[in-house]
Amino acid sequence: MRIRAALRSAVLLVLVMVSYRGGIAQAGPAPPPQHLRLTMKEAVRLALKQNPQVVAARILTLQSDRDRQIVRADLLPQVSLGMNMALEQSNFQTFEKLPAPKATGPFQYIEGGPVFSQSVLDLPLIRRYQISREGVRQSRAQQDVTREDITATVVTQYLLVLRAFAVYDAAKARVALAQRLYDQAVHLQSTGIGLNIDTTRAQVELQNERQNLINAETQTHTTTYVLAELLDLPREQEPELAETLQFFNLPSYEVAASITSALAHRPEMQALASQERIAGLERKSAGEQRLPQIDFSGFWYYQGEHFSDAIAAYTYLGSLEIPLFTGGRIQAEIARADLEQKRIAQNRQLLEARIVREVKSAIDELEAARTAVSVANLGLTLANEEVGQAQRRFQAGVTTNVEVVQAQDALARANANQIEALYRFNQSRANLARAMGEVENTYAQ
């Protein structure tokens, strides 16, 4: 019995393994990701079209416009069509003192026709409409802020991906160089010119460069994933960059003129200006609640016991309302509006100070980056010459490959300096465009 049970278990295990392998074979390997080749301008435009934050900001602007339309409707005539049918009976004792209950009715009537109303003079209501209209402007300015932020974020991430690929290409070139130097050390050792320590030293340097290459390749993947998230690409699609880090001539920027332009064009300043206007309108609306309010309403009904004997019946009503005592509510609302205006004024000071700092910092960083690129290019040229000279001296047996390894390290630093200088130059340009409120015009137009 035990043997039969063991055989049954073994057969069952084999069937499960076959089914599992068959399922894996049917599933097959995951398909390779699809690559979408994009320039920086195309990436920015795609993000502005489908990034969730941009879409949400666009929806909020549309909602604000619908709120404006709702408030405006209260200023326009309101007309409806109504109809009533009733059968009534009352106890006359509820209207007049009688010794016993007395029924009146039943009475039947039918009426129908238009009902209308119109606000003639209601200044707070007018102010609410003006506030809602200003709220649309504020929402549009906030949408522009979001677009500027997303554009700056996409540009920064695009540059980070470019830097990662530049580091990867440089690491790959250094691996090839380290391999050649290692082969040279092996050859010289085999001919009796080189030493074993030279070969070992060259091999250590080769392994270090291979490790750097692995890290650089990983960085290209992770930065690309972040860019794909910003662009809201499908999970099976990845962006492929069509540009490289470059240096180009830019005009010099005058600090005072740049600050003036930034204060005029930054969407944050426009949104704050809308907040100031809204606060002013709320202040006026609170004070104008003391003024009279005039309304006009009425109805015109076709009224009777039956439709066959109905006649026209109408009521036209004009009303005037003057607040006399509101328990201090109006004064409290005025005080609250004054506090809101003071708070917005403080926010304006903070925002202006931040814009001034961002513009000055971006201009200084851009000027420093120009010089850094020139210095880094010269350093890379000298580092390549140093590697060539050290390699020839080692080939001739004049020295060990210590000079070669030192030259390799200097070349690695020069490569990193050049890549970092080019990245900082491009990033400084993007920072200055963002500080002046022109990043979308610079990178998406």
CATH for the 34-73+124-289+328-443 domain, from 3.40.50.450, 1.20.1600.10, 3.40.50.150, 1.10.3720.10:
1.20.1600.10
Contact 335, 323 (CB under 8 A): no
Alpha-carbon span 370 to 250, nearest angstrom? 9
Alpha-carbon span 158 to 243, nearest angstrom? 9
Once rounded to an integer, what is the mean pLDDT over residues 304-325?
Answer: 87
10 pLDDT higher than 80: no
Residues 196-238 have pLDDT tens digits of: 888 898 899 899 989 999 999 999 999 999 999 999 999 889 9
Contact 224, 161 (CB under 8 A): yes
Element (H, E) at 239: strand 237-241
What's the confidence (pLDDT) of residue 194? 76
What's the confidence (pLDDT) of residue 8? 54
Please tell me which residue, 143 or 386, carries the higher pLDDT value: 143
Alpha-carbon span 376 to 382, nearest angstrom? 10
pTM reported for the whole predicted model: 0.81
Alpha-carbon span 307 to 377, nearest angstrom? 97
31 pLDDT higher than 50: yes
265 pLDDT higher than 50: yes
Residues 41-64 have pLDDT tens digits of: 999 999 999 999 999 999 999 999
Show the tokens assigned to 426. 């491009």
Among candidate residues 444, 373, 361, 443, the one with its CA nearest the CA of residue 414: 373
Rounded to a whole number of angstroms, the distance between the first and last alpha carbons of the chain is 82
What's the confidence (pLDDT) of residue 162? 95
Alpha-carbon span 368 to 313, nearest angstrom? 85
Residues 389-414 have pLDDT tens digits of: 887 887 777 776 778 778 888 888 88
Least confident among 15-19, 31-35, 322-326, 383-387: 15-19
What's the confidence (pLDDT) of residue 30? 53
Among candidate residues 168, 161, 169, 174, the one with its CA nearest the CA of residue 243: 161
Least confident among 87-96, 337-346, 392-401, 413-422: 392-401
Q: Parse the chain into domains and list their residue ranges.
A: 34-73+124-289+328-443
What's the confidence (pLDDT) of residue 32? 64
Q: Name, in order, each residue with C-beta under 8 angstroms of 437's C-beta and a sequence gap of 6 or more.
A: 148, 261, 262, 265, 266, 267, 268, 269
Share of the chain above pLDDT 70, in %: 92
Contact 238, 224 (CB under 8 A): yes
Residues 13-29 have pLDDT tens digits of: 444 344 444 443 444 55
Average pLDDT, the chain: 87
Please tell me which residue, 304 or 149, carries the higher pLDDT value: 149
